[in-house]
Structure 1
Amino acid sequence: MSKIDKPIIYEIKYNKTDISNLTNDINLKIDEKYNLIINYPTVYIIDDMQNKGKYFIYVGETNDIVRRTLEHIGNERNRQDWFEINNSKTANMYIIGHKHFNKSLTLDIENKLMLYLTSVSSVAKVNNRRTNQQGNYYTSDEFEEIFSKMWKELGKKNKKLFPVEQIVKDSALFKASPFHKLTNEQKNARLLIMNKINFSLNRNKSNINENGELIIISGEAGAGKTVLMSSIFFELQNEPELLDEVYLLVNHDQQYKVYLEIAKKLGIKKELVSKPTHFINTHTKKKAKIVLIDEAHLLLTQGKQSYRGKNQLYDVLKEADLVVAVFDENQILTTEQLWEAEELYNLRKKAIQKNNFIRLKNQLRINADATTVKWIRNLIDDGNISKIPKNDSCQYEIKIFDNPIQMYRSIQFKNNSQEKGISRLVATYDWEYKLNSQKDQEPWMVKIGDFEMPWNLQLRTSTGVQYKDVSWAEQPQTIHEVGSTYTVQGFDLNYVGVIIGPSVKYRKGHIIYDPAASKNLKATRNRTLKNGEKQKFGETFLKNELNVLLTRGVNGLYIYAVDDQLQKALKNAEL
């Protein structure tokens, strides 16, 4: 059992009278441990429940809680971000102390509190937007344990504001938050990008019609690209000279919702988070200084519907001085997103020559050892099915199921476990489905023998409500749906159950792809190349589809394959 004490949490009304009397109140307490509140570094949370049961939050740390809080009430009373809390009659404050607190530890706890609280559904806004992550320091090895104990104690005081940790970690906002502590690889990438941005801001462009400079961030699914992008976007928003000059674009409905919600909670203008087509069609002012593009492999490379251009990336480059784009060609899923080989090669070559090509190599999503990750990558990249590795020290679980009903029950069990978190069933796009339309007034279904379940984005909750601002996987009713690449791409699931449909087969000791068995017309139809030739890329896109689905799980991957030979090969790999 750990010998690290629980933090001391002192709850007080947030007003000048109570704060001024804090020292006297503490000194009157018999228990000397409360002296940690006034004589040592502390972390504090100011909360105010306002309209519709939502909280406005401020998180801070200080060496003098009385002086610092009176500064908030006095000197900062006219600041817009403080006005509502300082004039509230119901604001509350939690002051947190611990005998092992020092400056570095309190800064890390402040940062992680912002990470957690921006991810809590009952929080409408977090006023403090500072991020100040620390490196190694004397008590850094105690940080995680102290924080968890602190969060549990806060939860006893207010479960709505401080829910159990797994609920917080399941949030899509948590997984894309700019407050994550970056790895050394991410820090080095961010430093390079920020240096490039500073150079771009300081140079004089002689030709206003010159296209913007492009930085490419590459890396496999789960390499930490989104967190890096979110961190850079957030940091740039705190630079006064870049006010209204930094945009974040993403061409993915579910991820777009997440970024909009993060911007809302941090007080960033929603106009600065956009779909690429909207940005291209409406950006008529002077050039934007910086444009960040997450999931840039989802940008269109040919016109469709509201977008009439020829390549969205090139059009964005015309409207910005500098573009930073996350790109993974192994997640391109449709003919409208296809880059021709020569064009993609030239794009990368130019970035490499300018030292503008960054590759993230670490695997941050899959909580598994290198052997397990290699097994998954070999299946996807090389089509080989080897013996599934067994490692007692590795918590990641790979399991092959005899039928989809059994797999679904296991996914339900994992999802219902508070410790395991959000888990969902997904499938290759091998059953008919048309978004925003129904077949004979019935939902589009994934059917395999006795198994039958609706495709994603069709069910409502028992009260008839649909969640407009929450990603598909976070909606409670979606445990009864089957997700597709179009809803889970870019997101984490704690356990993912993958139904590999008939478009993926196993022949002569190797995985092959059968576009004729797929219902994904966007992946299997012809693409007209620049030379006028019509060509199919279905096998490549179906492989990319499998790549997206098999890399969603953080702690486990469950599989059932429709193709008999593939199913047999997978079952044999378990033996």
Structure 2
Amino acid sequence: MNNKISEKYTPIIKHYNYNVNTKNEIIKSNNKFIVRYPTVYIIIDKAKKDKFKAYVGETNNIIRRTEEHLKNESSDRTDWTKLNKSKNAEIIVIAHKEFNKSLTLDIENKLMQYLLSDDSINHLNNRRSNDQDLYYTSQDCQKIFSSLWNKLSEDNNELFPDVQDIRNSSIFKASPFHKLTEEQIDAKDKIISKIRDKVNQKYTENNLVIIEGSAGTGKTVLLSSLFAEINENIDLPESYLLVNHNEQVEVYKNIADKLEIKSKQGDDIVNKPTKFLNKHSKSDSKVGIVMIDEAHLLLTQGKQAYRGKNQLSDIINRAKVVVAVIDPRQVLTSEEYIESDQYKKLISDAKENNNLVELKQQNRIQANIHTINWIETLISKGKIDDIPYDNKYEIKVFNNPFKLYKKIKDHDRQDENIFKGLSRVVATFDWEYKNKSPENNDYWRVNIGDNFSLPWNLELPINKNYKHLPWAEQPQTIDEVGSTYTIQGFDLNYCGLIIGPSVKFRDGKIIYDPKESHNNNAKKNRTLSNGNKVDVSQNLLNNELNVLMKRGVHGLYIYAVDKQLRDELIKRAGKNNLLL
């Protein structure tokens, strides 16, 4: 029975030399599914040692389309000139008896998504996004794709690595080729329409478009899709992308390099905000479009290399259009703190000018509405309700941190993280952390009682093959504890959350104790616009918990150091959710 099921989804895959004789080779195959049905194809050429260029396409007539590539496109496209002159290029044609136009477009899009995340591919052409809505056989797409990728991997594991290596990569998670939700598609259309209107205006007033949404609503995926599509569109100016974390800068630079997205001015099209502002210091020489991921992390006062007063205002003055993703509940330091009145004015102005795009659908946490509401109530109101039963999302409370750690390691086994992602332990910043130095006799650790001690993030030795990867993707980090600074913006399959002593439960409500926190950036007083210095640590420590509690896609495991908080969580967990 299983063999019959697998045969139903098994595609036909043929390899041909890519040259003037390809047409004859395909005709000789005498396979009607190749010759007469819609097909998907990949043209592969070696770029340099262990690196390849790839072009992905789909067609209703592979013979005609191959001839078009070989004859018509070589004269006006330099990428095809080199490809067509290659002596080692190969075309892989993929067919299936159930292929129709929509299904081949979806398969093409998935191949783009996977090959973009493939370390052996350094250039990827045809970067359009063709994800389809519902259609006949759409329910078979994922199974057919899994079968064809596994078959490609069996033939050449170097070029088509294991699914696990692809799906757990940060590039895969930030890829512009993810299938967008209906809400994201509507948002994307609105933003592109706004950009078209604004870039043609002589004056660039009200040029800030805001994407607002809480953690897990798909803001980053939407921005990545916009970044790729706008830079492909010859009718629109180029778009810079600014991100705040070093790891994310490398992820998006890698995406831009592979898709050959470059700045016409010769600088980095993906950058951190301060570096961008220092490069584009003259406000009278505006760039076209700037997109900002996690704009809530922009500085709102001077710090180190940044000498201005507000990075968002400065970026607005350097661009014709700015598209900014904002969630004030993810601000983590006093230098990034947005005053309530200022944020309300930003949103009010955006609404007044029809420049506000709101994302409300939770895309990360695969849970029912009762579970999502339980998490939101705990964070926003400090109230702990009974943990609801959920057959899609698992919340468990532990009275022993070591058992939580062991359970997270169980979820990080290979057969699970291939399809569901990596699982890691994270914690509130309530233990001392310093950079490693030769004088340190031991790692900086998260210590709880006599039996639990794990190094803080970025402490364990890193194999040189993984140094370029974000924290969660490095295999040794399963034996570390992550913080908001290493996990913000990333998804986990199961998140094991250690809530440190800065979060307590008193008089029926969660409170925050800054004296117990080692997050000095959250404890510094903030000078407001009126000159008053205020303590904003309560807001920032609440934001820290918000970021950590929303990392898990399929589950959240919790251990609380504060006994009263732990007891309340245990009481609210009930027999079904409590794991002793």
User: Into which bin does the TM-score normalised by the smaller protein fall?
Assistant: over 0.9
Amino acid paired to 2:423: S
RMSD between aligned residues:
1.9
The whole-number CA distance in structure 2 between the counterparts of 1:158 and 1:273 is 32
- Shift, 1:436, TM fit: 6.1
> CA offsets, 1:403-429, max 9 Å, x none?
222211222221123323311111100
The whole-number CA distance in structure 2 between the counterparts of 1:352 and 1:162 is 46
- Shift, 1:180, TM fit: 1.1
- Shift, 1:547, TM fit: 0.6
Instruction: Give the secondary-structure state (helix, strand or coil) at the position aligned to 1:418.
Output: helix
The whole-number CA distance in structure 1 between the counterparts of 2:303 and 2:33 is 62
Instruction: Give the secondary-structure state (helix, strand or coil) at the position aligned to 2:555.
Output: strand
Instruction: Give the secondary-structure state (helix, strand or coil) at the position aligned to 1:348.
Output: helix
Q: How does 1:77-226 map to 2 (within 5 A)?
A: 77=74, 79-205=77-203, 213-226=207-220
The whole-number CA distance in structure 2 between the counterparts of 1:436 and 1:349 is 45
Give 5+ residue unaligned stretches, structure 2: 575-580
Which residue is equivalent to 1:228?
Answer: 222
Q: Does the 8 Å CA contact 2:231/2:239 hold for their aligned counterparts?
A: yes
The whole-number CA distance in structure 2 between the counterparts of 1:284 and 1:81 is 34
Q: Which moved more, 1:170-179 or 1:277-286?
A: 277-286
The whole-number CA distance in structure 2 between the counterparts of 1:236 and 1:375 is 38
The whole-number CA distance in structure 1 between the counterparts of 2:339 and 2:538 is 15
Which residue is equivalent to 1:516?
Answer: 515
The equivalent position to 1:53 in structure 2, one of 45, 50, 54, is 50
Which residue is equivalent to 2:578?
Answer: none
- Shift, 1:38, TM fit: 0.8
The equivalent position to 2:272 in structure 1, one of 266, 275, 290, is 275
Q: Are 2:288 and 1:289 equivalent residues in the alignment?
A: yes
Amino acid paired to 2:14: Y
- Shift, 1:211, TM fit: 5.5
Q: How does 1:314-329 map to 2 (within 5 A)?
A: 314-329=313-328
Dislocated runs of 4+, deviation >6 Å: none
Which residue is equivalent to 1:477?
Answer: 476
> CA offsets, 1:310-343, max 9 Å, x none?
0000000110111110000100111000111111
Q: Does the 8 Å CA contact 1:45/1:57 hold for their aligned counterparts?
A: yes
Give 5+ residue unaligned stretches, structure 1: 28-33
Q: Cα distance 1:436–1:238, how it changes in 2: closer, same or farther (>3 A)? A: farther
Q: Which moved more, 1:333-342 or 1:396-405?
A: 396-405
Instruction: Give the secondary-structure state (helix, strand or coil) at the position aligned to 2:105.
Output: helix
Q: Are 2:255 and 1:251 equivalent residues in the alignment?
A: no
> CA offsets, 1:508-539, max 9 Å, x none?
22111111100001001111112221100111
Instruction: Give the secondary-structure state (helix, strand or coil) at the position aligned to 2:183.
Output: helix
Q: Cα distance 1:403–1:90, how it changes in 2: closer, same or farther (>3 A)? A: farther
Q: Cα distance 1:324–1:76, how it changes in 2: closer, same or farther (>3 A)? A: same
Instruction: Give the secondary-structure state (helix, strand or coil) at the position aligned to 2:276.
Output: helix
Q: Cα distance 1:525–1:113, how it changes in 2: closer, same or farther (>3 A)? A: same
Amino acid paired to 1:113: L
Q: Does the 8 Å CA contact 1:186/1:360 hold for their aligned counterparts?
A: yes
Q: Does the 8 Å CA contact 1:501/1:563 hold for their aligned counterparts?
A: yes
The whole-number CA distance in structure 1 between the counterparts of 2:281 and 2:304 is 20
Q: Cα distance 1:165–1:370, how it changes in 2: closer, same or farther (>3 A)? A: farther
Which residue is equivalent to 2:234?
Answer: 240
Q: How does 1:355-504 map to 2 (within 5 A)?
A: 355-391=354-390, 394-420=391-417, 421-435=421-435, 440=440, 442-449=442-449, 450-461=451-462, 463=463, 465=464, 467-504=466-503
- Shift, 1:162, TM fit: 2.8
* TM-score for the superposition, normalised by structure 1: 0.93
> CA offsets, 1:163-221, max 9 Å, x none?
3434322221111111111111111111111111111122222xxxx656111111110
How many aligned positions are there? Answer: 559
The equivalent position to 2:60 in structure 1, one of 58, 63, 68, is 63
The whole-number CA distance in structure 2 between the counterparts of 1:434 and 1:83 is 53
> CA offsets, 1:10-65, max 9 Å, x none?
122223224432202x12xxxxxx32001111001122344342232111101121
Instruction: Give the secondary-structure state (helix, strand or coil) at the position aligned to 2:10.
Output: coil
The whole-number CA distance in structure 2 between the counterparts of 1:424 and 1:5 is 34
Amino acid paired to 2:51: K
> CA offsets, 1:238-295, max 9 Å, x none?
122445x311111122222211111111111271111111111111572012111110
The whole-number CA distance in structure 1 between the counterparts of 2:172 and 2:550 is 19
The whole-number CA distance in structure 2 between the counterparts of 1:355 and 1:436 is 49
Amino acid paired to 2:278: N
The whole-number CA distance in structure 2 between the counterparts of 1:167 and 1:315 is 40
The equivalent position to 1:265 in structure 2, one of 250, 258, 263, is 258
The whole-number CA distance in structure 1 between the counterparts of 2:150 and 2:325 is 36
The whole-number CA distance in structure 1 between the counterparts of 2:470 and 2:544 is 19
Amino acid paired to 1:124: N
- Shift, 1:151, TM fit: 2.0
- Shift, 1:99, TM fit: 1.4
Q: Cα distance 1:558–1:514, how it changes in 2: closer, same or farther (>3 A)? A: same
Which residue is equivalent to 1:31?
Answer: none
* TM-score for the superposition, normalised by structure 2: 0.92
Instruction: Give the secondary-structure state (helix, strand or coil) at the position aligned to 1:21.
Output: helix
The whole-number CA distance in structure 2 between the counterparts of 1:439 and 1:418 is 40
Q: How does 1:532-571 map to 2 (within 5 A)?
A: 532-571=531-570
Q: Does the 8 Å CA contact 1:499/1:560 hold for their aligned counterparts?
A: yes
Instruction: Give the secondary-structure state (helix, strand or coil) at the position aligned to 1:45.
Output: strand
The whole-number CA distance in structure 2 between the counterparts of 1:527 and 1:549 is 23
The whole-number CA distance in structure 2 between the counterparts of 1:474 and 1:86 is 37
Q: Cα distance 1:224–1:138, how it changes in 2: closer, same or farther (>3 A)? A: same
Q: Does the 8 Å CA contact 1:259/1:273 hold for their aligned counterparts?
A: yes
- Shift, 1:437, TM fit: 5.2
Q: Does the 8 Å CA contact 2:495/2:555 hold for their aligned counterparts?
A: yes
Q: Does the 8 Å CA contact 2:12/2:94 hold for their aligned counterparts?
A: yes
